[in-house]
Amino acid sequence: MWVRTVNNRISIRKPYAASHMNTHKTGKQVFITALLITCCWCSLSAQDLHFSQWFNSPLTTNPANTGFIPDADYRIGANYRNQFMNILSVPYKTVSIFGDAQLMRDKIENGWLGVGGVILHDAAGSGNLTSTKVYGSLAYHQMLGYSSLLTAGFNAGWANKRIDPTKLIFPDQFNKTTGFFDAGIPSSVVFNSTSTSYADIQAGMNYAYFPSNKVYLNGGFSIQHINRPKESFFSSTPGFDNRLAPRYIGFFNGSFKMSDVLILNPAAYYSNQAKASEFVLGTSLNYNLSGEGGSTQLIGGLYYRGNDAFVPMIGFQLLDFKMSFTYDVTTSSLSPYNGGRGALEFSLIKNGFFSQYQGSRRESWCPSF
């Protein structure tokens, strides 16, 4: 057994977990769980606490998104993801809470500062592999003429990962007599520590172009784990690099006002870490339900994550609150075993204005109703 340090999902290469592999499991259940772990290992090794709704988790996608709020002065949001709930007795759960704001708009000519922070918590399966991360973000935004904006930002924070070895079963705990794995058999695997902590740093840049009130384009690039922190539950092993690999993220999104009641929002996302990659492409539509002003909107969309899943989305916006739901419909080799039921995800975001802007809100850069 050894430790893989490129992701926050399957950090320990373990074939079985105690709460899923006991002497009462059937051969089919053993096979399904083993296949699940193999699929996770092969296709999810770049997740790093990922969300299908990456566009609703701006600070984890790119720190340059801090204070990059086209239609408000501040925002507060939360994300929740529940994965493998119909296969694992203890599914993967990821929670994120974030907030950011624009500052010094009246002190910097054609620019401002963005400040914010994010807290993430992830619990991965029956081994109680949990990750907790806390980041603070800072970004600078500068207008380029009247129709474009350039942004650079970074975040720095603290990360902790814990595991409970008593809830894991390892290869040398296989009972040849019964043909099952037995947690009562002593294992030769020895953890040097059940907790590891480290500092973590990210940086990124964004560019936005808005030539009219009907067109908005935005793209960005970021690098995570710039400082290559060490992450391991074991003592150092010669020839084995236990540092986190840098993660590279690029994204593009746009908004196009098609009519007085319809806005089209295409988007693309790409991530690469340690030769593992993820590509997402799709679009959403905002439909105005409330006439002039558009304070009530229905949101629908469909995305595709390459070789993995279709991700339909439905949402609703009322005044400054936006709620979005997505469901990963698995299309990978795991589909026959989970029935195509991947992950459920929920996002809630509130945008707002500082008190001095009430009654005289500045114009949004994005197309609006």
The pLDDT tens digits for 315-325 are: 999 999 999 99
Tens-place pLDDT, residues 120-154: 999 987 667 899 999 999 999 999 999 999 999 99
Q: Is the pLDDT of residue 225 over 90?
A: yes
Q: Is the pLDDT of residue 211 over 90?
A: yes
Amino acid 3: pLDDT: 32
Contacts of 243 (CB under 8 A, 6+ apart): 5, 228, 229, 230, 231
Q: How confident is the model at residue 356 (pLDDT cuts 50, 70, 90)?
A: low
Amino acid 39: pLDDT: 44
Amino acid 173: pLDDT: 86
Tens-place pLDDT, residues 280-317: 999 999 999 987 767 899 999 999 999 999 999 999 99
- Mean pLDDT for the stretch of residues 96-117: 95
Classified by CATH at the fold level, domain 16-178+189-357 comes out as: Porin (2.40.160)
Tens-place pLDDT, residues 161-202: 999 888 888 888 888 888 888 888 888 888 889 999 999 999
Amino acid 187: pLDDT: 86
pTM of the model as a whole: 0.84
